[in-house]
A and B are shown apart, each in its own frame.
Chain A
Amino acid sequence: MIHLNNVRKFYGALEVIKGVDVTVDDGEFAVFVGPSGCGKSTLLRMIAGLEGIDSGDLVLNGTRINDVPPDKRGIAMVFQSYALYPHMTVAENIGFSLSLKKVAPAEIRRQVEEVAEILQLRELLDRRPGALSGGQRQRVAIGRAIIKKPSLILFDEPLSNLDSALRVQMRAELQRLHRELSATVVYVTHDQVEAMTMADKIVVLNQGTVAQAGPPMDLYHRPDNEFVATFIGSPKMNVLPVTMTREGSESVHLAGPLGMALTLADAGASLPDGAAKLGVRPEHLRVVAEEAAHFIAEVAIVERLGVETYLTVGSIDQPIVVRVEGDVTFRPGDRVPLAADTAACHIFGTDGRILRSANAA
Chain B
Amino acid sequence: MSVAPPGESANRVRGDLMAYATLSLISIFCAIPFFWLLIASFDGNAQLFLRWPETWTFANYLRVFAKEDGAKWLFNSLFVVGSATLLVMVLSGLGGYALSRTRAWWKLPFLYAILLIRVLPSTALIVPLYKFLLTLNNAESALLRPIFGSATRDIMRWTGFIDGYLGLILVLATMQLPLSLWIMKTFFDGLPRDYEEAALMDGATMIQRIRRVLVPLALPGLAASGLFAFMSAWGDFLLPLILLSSPELQTLPLGLFRAFLRINEIDYGLLTALAFIYLVPAVVAFGFARRFLVQTFSGGVKG
Contacts and interface: CB of A to CB of B under 8 A. Distances in A.
Given A72-B203, A148-B202, 12 more contacts: A71-B204, A76-B201, A77-B198, A82-B194, A83-B192, A86-B217, A86-B302, A86-B303, A87-B219, A96-B202, A97-B203, A144-B202
A13 interface: no
Contact of B201 (A70, A84, A87, A129): A70
Interface of A: 48-50, 70-72, 75-77, 79-87, 96-97, 100-101, 129-130, 144, 148
B200 A87 contact: no
A96 B208 CA distance: 11
| Contact residues of B: prevailing secondary structure | helix
Nearest to B205: A100
B195 to A, nearest CB: 5
Interface string B205-234: 000100011001101000000000000000
Contact of B194 (A70, A76, A83): A83
18 contacts: A50-B201, A71-B202, A75-B201, A77-B197, A77-B198, A83-B192, A84-B303, A85-B213, A85-B216, A87-B217, A96-B199, A96-B212, A100-B203, A100-B212, A129-B303, A130-B303, A144-B198, A148-B202
B202 A83 contact: no
Contact of A87 (B203, B204, B216): B216
B25 interface: no
A48 B201 CA distance: 8
Contact of B302 (A50, A70, A71, A130): A130
Interface in B153-207: 192, 194-195, 197-204
B197 A79 contact: yes
Interface residues of B, number: 20
A83 B195 contact: yes
B301 interface: yes
Given A83-B197, A87-B217, A101 B301 contact: no
Given A50-B197, A86-B301, A97 B202 contact: yes
A79 B194 contact: yes
A82 B208 CA distance: 20
A85 B201 contact: no
A42 B11 CA distance: 65
Nearest to A75: B201
A79 B203 CA distance: 16
A79 B199 CA distance: 11
Contacts of B203: 71-72, 97, 100-101
A46 to B, nearest CB: 13
A36 B114 CA distance: 37
Contacts of B200: 50, 70-71
Contacts of B213: 85
Interface in B268-303: 301-303
Contacts of A72: 203
A58 B200 CA distance: 19
Nearest to B219: A87
A71 B217 contact: no
B24 to A, nearest CB: 38
In the A-B complex, the 7 residue pairs with the closest CB atoms:
A86-B303, A71-B203, A83-B194, A97-B202, A83-B198, A87-B216, A79-B194
Nearest to A73: B201
Contacts of A130: 302-303
B198 A79 contact: yes
A130 B198 CA distance: 18
B194 A81 contact: yes
A140 B42 CA distance: 58
Contacts of A50: 197, 200-201
A77 B212 CA distance: 19
Contacts of B302: 86, 130
A82 B194 CA distance: 8
Contacts of A148: 202
A76 B198 CA distance: 9
Contacts of B208: 100
Nearest to B199: A96
A101 B202 CA distance: 9
A46 B197 CA distance: 13
B216 to A, nearest CB: 4
Nearest to A48: B201
Contacts of B303: 84-86, 129-130
A129 B201 CA distance: 19
Nearest to B204: A100
Contacts of B198: 77, 79, 83, 144
A83 B301 CA distance: 11
Among A84, A100, A130, A148: residue with most chain B CB under 10 A: A100
